[in-house]
Amino acid sequence: MNQTFWLTNSLSGKKEKLETIEPGKLTMYSCGPTVYGLIHIGNLRSGVVSDLFYRAFQKAGYEVTYVRNYTDVDDKIINKANEEGRSSEEVAAEFVIEVEKDYQSAHMLEPTLKTKATEYIQPMIRMIESIIKEGKAYVTETGEVLFSVEDFQGYGKLSGKNLEELEAGARVEVSDQKRSPFDFTLWKPAKPGEPSWDSPWGKGRPGWHIECSAMIHEAMGPQIDIHHGGEDLVFPHHENEIAQSEAACGKSPFVKVWLHHAFLTFNQTKMSKSLGNVFNARTFIEQYGGELARWMLLSVHYRKILDFSEETIDHSLSALERLYEAKLRATQLKERRTLRPDPVKESVWGEFVSQIENYKKELNEAISQDFNTPEVFSVLFRLVREFNRIQSTEGMIDTPSVSLAAECFLNFIEKDFGEIMGLGGEEPRAYLKFLGEIRSKRMSTSGAESLSSDEIEVLIQERKDARASKDYAKADEIRNHLLERGVEIKDGPQGTTWKYV
């Protein structure tokens, strides 16, 4: 391997040199979405980040086996299916297709294997049987199989949680059949109307955590190199995956390197469904396109919070315009034919071409340092600036070597930067036109015309109603929402008045 990766491993909390189980090969798993609706932009971040890892490892020469799952049996899916009078298979199948559309828009590559939980029920049952045999799980009177955390040495090693402290802080339910409050479900009896499978413990369905352990084991064996997911999955999901896999297979560590990406905020507020600010990925892609969505998601290091705001969108928009203007210029210069060699100009372009090799090294170095994407962008723009500087200098494009230099520059954008980042591959003229349209739409909606007076009146009425029912939080939310859309309201003796600001 000519490239050494240094990755922040959540298990140790340290940046470690990557040494795979088998030299030259790499096994990687990423927890995918539960398919009961369109994914939000946070789920898209998860997909794009794991796709970045996959691309970077492949580009570095690893023979990568990358598995990503779909959770297609879950309470949320069952509830939705029941509400709509459909089967949960139908709901899950529909949204697998929808999620894949968004993934494709965001230029995500096909993983080696995409698994669905329901296709791995037998491996899950076999794994649960092994855990019971090892004395680390038990069957309750009601036919539920629970993992016994106290019987597993090292529970808490990923999240840094200590079982005694956890238990001291836990509420104990009297009716609970758990031996410890942190024992978790491996298998549960199915209620009427729920999908169910035959098992040694009666008809039932698996708990959520067991699916990833079983799919990983089935597809890649008892130990893998990389496991990725959102930081919200560290506890309990990933902690439980470790417990299950290590208890069943007796191999430790189950995962060599755990990679977790940080969450998203929306204008500095933690993104949550209750706030109503979950930005659906489809809406975003329809408005801004997949290239911009991906650019924005990679503009912040995966371990850092990404604040999803108008400003972030603007930054990405400007950066893309800068890149594609340079790309357009290079495309034109590549075709330029001039027969008057000039030794001075030749040497300037020659130097530019040889410098590209250094930029490639810097780019690979940035990626191998824990996927430092902000640094990758900075390397790209240093080269863009250099290209712009030379080509705009008087007379510099009147020399034969300009076309070779432009071609090398384009190669850097499309191959070196593009293949790792999954960006830069759009046709420049058409794409710049598209960006221009986005920009003019944003200009016209960012100002006073963003809301019609009818829409404003409706919101003011809603706020009045909220105040009348003493829901001041909601009332404030409406006021802030209006302000964000450029409308200021004022309460006076004649009621509420408003103006565009």
Which residues contact Zn ion by CB under 5 A? 31, 212
Asked if 145 and 139 count as a contact pair (C-beta separation under 8 A), the reply is yes
CB closer to Zn ion out of 108 and 212: 212
Q: How near is the Cβ of 259 to Zn ion at its closest, in Å? A: 13
CB closer to Zn ion out of 28 and 212: 212
Q: How near is the Cβ of 346 to Zn ion at its closest, in Å? A: 56
Crossing angle (nearest 10°) for helices 310-334 and 373-392 = 40
CB closer to Zn ion out of 31 and 226: 31
CB closer to Zn ion out of 29 and 349: 29
Asked if 224 and 41 count as a contact pair (C-beta separation under 8 A), the reply is no
Per the rule left: phi > 0, alpha: psi between -120 and 50, beta: everything else, 482 is alpha
Angle, CA of 250, 253 and 255, to the nearest 5°: 120
HEC states along 268-333?
CEECCHHHCCCCEHHHHHHHHCHHHHHHHHHCCCCCCCEEECHHHHHHHHHHHHHHHHHHHHHHHH
Q: How near is the Cβ of 212 to Zn ion at its closest, in Å? A: 3
Q: How near is the Cβ of 104 to Zn ion at its closest, in Å? A: 22
Write down the H helix ranges in 28-170: 41-59, 75-84, 88-105, 121-133, 163-169
Contacts of 127 (CB under 8 A, 6+ apart): 210, 213, 214, 217, 244, 248
CB closer to Zn ion out of 239 and 291: 239
Residue 79: half-sphere exposure toward Cβ, Cα within 13 Å: 6
CB closer to Zn ion out of 65 and 391: 65
Pairwise CA distance, residues 127 & 145, whole Å:
12
Q: How near is the Cβ of 497 to Zn ion at its closest, in Å? A: 52
Q: How near is the Cβ of 9 to Zn ion at its closest, in Å? A: 17
CB closer to Zn ion out of 156 and 428: 156
CB atoms within 10 A of CB 121: 20
Q: How near is the Cβ of 31 to Zn ion at its closest, in Å? A: 3
Q: How near is the Cβ of 29 to Zn ion at its closest, in Å? A: 8
CB closer to Zn ion out of 207 and 418: 207
Q: What are phi and psi of 420, to 5 degrees?
A: -80, -45
Question: Which residues are registered as beta bridge partners of 185?
Answer: 146
